[in-house]
Amino acid sequence: MTVTLVQMDIAWGDAKTNRETAEKAILSAEKSDLYVLPEMWNTGFDIEPEGIAECLFPQEDGEKENKGSETLLWMQRMADKLDAAVAGSIAVRLPDGSYRNRLYFVTPGTTPNLPPRKEAFRCQSPSLLGGEAEGGGWYDKHHLFTYGGEHLHYTPGNERVTVEWRGVRFRLSTCYDLRFPLWLRYRGDYDALICVASWPSVRMLAWRVLLQARAIENQCYVLGVNRVGSDLACQYSGGTAFVNPYGEMTACPEGEAAVLTQTIDMEHLRTFRRKFPVLEEAD
């Protein structure tokens, strides 16, 4: 499977501009089966979602008609156009008024613009996924970044989510989750870990080490996608990387927008796990 990781600068709170930036980056890359964008790639990481979170459901909002998440619809159009999956997290508002930092994995042929009061996506909720599903799905960030106050405004997800796409099982995770190995521990349920992030420059050593650690301890591929640029609080230098099951890393150039296209070799992964069966002896 061919995957492309998109390391992009993000215009603060400007979803339209960010969609255009992401589309140019994706179309500039090699043809892939999966394209992965950073955490809150359409707005920048904002701990206060009011005003930036997208409503998933068509509704009347005062005098303004809300037709649903424009960003999710864009992800769907791109998936259909490219015959590929598109993944990335966005801030969303649910009908009960709660906010989620939701990582979507959108596949061709799904239909996000369903009628009001129904989830704006074809796939089941994580509780119905049973840990894995063929095609698209979503994951709500479990470990909210309390140091920055994310927990004061967002509701955490409580489900491990794995999606299967073209023969590869992807475990979904977001930023701060990367620091929690028990949450991401392989349970016989995935081949590659996706971690989308807004990880600041001051903690880049931790980012690189943790990406490699998660790959080595779980004998899996790791796709770590981070942004560049700056927002109101932090500087970001990227570090977007593809890590193989041995912990060997290939990364985007530091500090600049870039795309990175690599290959997940499932036969190689199966052979490695079979010849060196560390996972069978896990605690």
Instruction: List, for residues 44-53, the tens digit of each pLDDT value.
Output: 999 999 988 9
Report the pLDDT value the prediction gives residue 269, as an integer from 0 to 100: 98
What is the band of 110 on the pLDDT scale with cuts at 50, 70, 90? low
Helix ranges (H only) for the chain are 15-28, 70-82, 126-129, 204-218, 266-275
Active site annotation includes 39: yes
Can 119 be counted among the known catalytic residues?
A: no
pTM of the model: 0.90
pLDDT digits (tens, 9 = 90+) for 166-175: 999 999 999 9
Is residue 61's pLDDT more than 80?
no
Catalytic residue among 54, 123, 141, 252: 141
59 pLDDT band, cuts 50/70/90, is low
Tell me which of 54, 123, 150, 175 is the catalytic residue: 175
Question: How confident is residue 127, by pLDDT bands cut at 50, 70 and 90?
Answer: very low
Place of tokens 């089966």: 33
Which one from 39, 54, 123, 220 is the annotated catalytic residue? 39
The whole-number pLDDT of residue 51 equals: 84
pLDDT at 135 (0 to 100): 65
Separation CA 248–CA 258 (nearest Å): 20
Q: What is the per-residue burial (b if ≥16 Cβ within 10 Å, else e) of 129-163?
A: beebbebbbbbbbbbbbeeeebeebbbebebbbbb
Is residue 62 over pLDDT 70?
Answer: no
CB-based contact 38:198 (threshold 8 Å)? yes
Query: Residue 145 corresponds to which tokens in the numbers above?
Result: 């970044």
pLDDT, residue 283, reads 85
**What is the identity of the amino acid at 58?**
P
Residue 75 in this model has a pLDDT that exceeds 80: yes
- Return the residue matching tokens 């156009």: 81
Q: Go through the domains of the chain in sequence order and give each one's CATH number.
A: 2-281 (3.60.110.10)
225-279 per-position pLDDT tens digit: 999 999 989 999 999 999 999 999 999 999 999 999 999 999 999 999 999 999 9
Burial 21-42 (b: 16+ CB within 10 A, else e): bbeebbeebeebbbbbbbbbbb
Within the chain, strands assigned E span 2-7, 34-36, 54-55, 59-61, 64-66, 85-93, 99-106, 132-134, 137-140, 162-165, 168-174, 192-196, 221-225, 228-230, 235-237, 241-243, 249-251, 258-263
Q: Tokens for 5?
A: 């990781």
The label of the residue with tokens 């349920």 reads 189
Active site residue 220: no
* CA atoms of 48 and 138, how far apart (whole Å): 21
Average pLDDT, integer, range 120-135: 37
Residue 132 has pLDDT above 90, yes or no: no
What is the model's pLDDT at position 57? 66
Tokens of 244: 């193989």
Q: Tokens 């489900």 label which residue?
A: 159
Residue 3 confidence (pLDDT): 98
Higher pLDDT, 20 or 283: 20
Q: Tell whether the model's pLDDT for residue 70 goes beyond 60.
A: yes
Strand 132-134 relative to strand 99-106, pairing: unpaired
Residue pair 113/151 in contact (Cβ under 8 Å)? The answer is no
